[in-house]
Amino acid sequence: MLTIDANWLASQLDCPDIVIIDARGIIPYRFRHIQNAKPLGIEGVILVADNGANLVIDPPTAEKLFSSLGIDESKKVVVYGESIDPSAGRIVWTLMYHGHPDVKLLDISFSQWQKAGFPVTREVIPAQRQEERAAAPIGGGVSPPRFKSKINPTIRAEADYIKTKQVDPNVVIIDARTPQEHFQARIPGSILDNWEVGIGQNGEMIKSIAELEKDFEEKGITRDKEIICYCHAGTRASHKYLQLKQAGYDRVKVYDGSIIDWAQRRNLIR
């Protein structure tokens, strides 16, 4: 399971081996957030390429960023956000791409967490104090958390790879955007599966497995196929990736450059 139960998290908020990440952005974070959570906006995990595509951050950037948040391979990371915003999914995928062994998406949105009466706070740790806390040795001279990037290339695709797979019957290329975007301009051979179809109706970050399986099978997206997800800039595609993994699909990739990168490379668009 890629999601983590809210009741379980509520009982573990003070656990030193858990790092909670708020993916909603600094303004909503400052207004109210889950106790002990740390803010990380989606802009922090994006590298803008020369052609305007939003790409995953490189290893040095990832190591500096995630270390500053107190993340190393010994920590369980839980990321939360709002169900109408795929940013949390992008952050989870980024940690997975850089090889973090234990990262989860909170199963409900922050709004639902708050509605359920789970602990929230307005306390904000200044950025300087966060950096000092991450860098300071723990009692006994123990080294501070140090994130090491171990890239998993199997979950990311690039344009050249996609071009070799467009007519492969064993590959499904998914457009995670809206129907309007899909019919306006899309990668030839791709099928529409709007990322919003995979989120719950009551604040769940991802639908139930049974609902996901039904949706995918109706579109011919079966487990025996390799799946490549794209959208406009890679964020919604990352959330679709998590939906597929939640449903038990093994061979799934994200084209994080997505349609921006595809178009800038002058590839055919339908």
Q: Each residue of 54-80: pLDDT tens digit?
A: 999 999 999 999 999 999 999 999 999
User: Is 146 a member of any domain?
Assistant: no
CA-to-CA separations, 232 to 57, 93, 133, 267, in angstroms, rounded: 17, 16, 37, 15
DSSP H or E stretch at residue 246: helix 235-246
pLDDT score, position 36:
95
Please check whether residues 80 and 201 belong to one and the same domain. no
Distance CA 166, CA 71 (A): 38
User: Is 192 a member of any domain?
Assistant: yes
pLDDT score, position 143:
60
Total structural domains within the chain? 2
Please check whether residues 13 and 117 belong to one and the same domain. yes
Beta strands in 90-169 (DSSP E): 103-106, 120-121
Nearest to 100 by CA among 133, 60, 58, 71: 71
Spell out, as residue ranges, where the chain has pLDDT lower than 70.
125-143
Please check whether residues 126 and 25 belong to one and the same domain. yes
Per the structure, the complete domain to which residue 240 belongs is given by: 153-264
User: Is 172 a member of any domain?
Assistant: yes
CA atoms within 13 A on the CB side of 172: 22
User: Is 105 a member of any domain?
Assistant: yes
DSSP bridge pairs for 33: 121
User: Is 10 a member of any domain?
Assistant: yes
Question: Last residue of a domain, which of 81, 100, 135?
Answer: 135
Question: In angstroms, what is the C-alpha Rg of the chain?
Answer: 19
Please check whether residues 109 and 176 belong to one and the same domain. no
Question: Last residue of a domain, which of 77, 100, 135?
Answer: 135
Tokens of 34: 């889950």
Distance CA 2, CA 28 (A): 24
Question: Last residue of a domain, which of 108, 135, 162?
Answer: 135
Please check whether residues 157 and 46 belong to one and the same domain. no
pTM, two decimals, is: 0.93
Please check whether residues 62 and 157 belong to one and the same domain. no
Please check whether residues 126 and 26 belong to one and the same domain. yes
Please check whether residues 116 and 168 belong to one and the same domain. no
User: Is 143 a member of any domain?
Assistant: no
Please check whether residues 43 and 98 belong to one and the same domain. yes
pLDDT score, position 145:
77
Please check whether residues 257 and 166 belong to one and the same domain. yes
pLDDT score, position 270:
87
Interstrand relation of 38-39 and 191-192 (parallel, antiparallel or unpaired): unpaired
User: Is 141 a member of any domain?
Assistant: no
User: Is 89 a member of any domain?
Assistant: yes
Question: For residue 40, is it left (φ>0), alpha (ψ between -120 and 50) or beta?
Answer: beta
Please check whether residues 96 and 68 belong to one and the same domain. yes
pLDDT score, position 124:
83
Please check whether residues 254 and 202 belong to one and the same domain. yes
Q: Cβ contacts of residue 126 below 8 Å, gap of 6+?
A: none
Domain with 204 in it: what CATH number?
3.40.250.10
Provide the sign of the torsion angle of the four alpha carbons 55, 247, 39, 87, taken in this order: positive
How far from chain centre, in Å, is Cα 75? 17
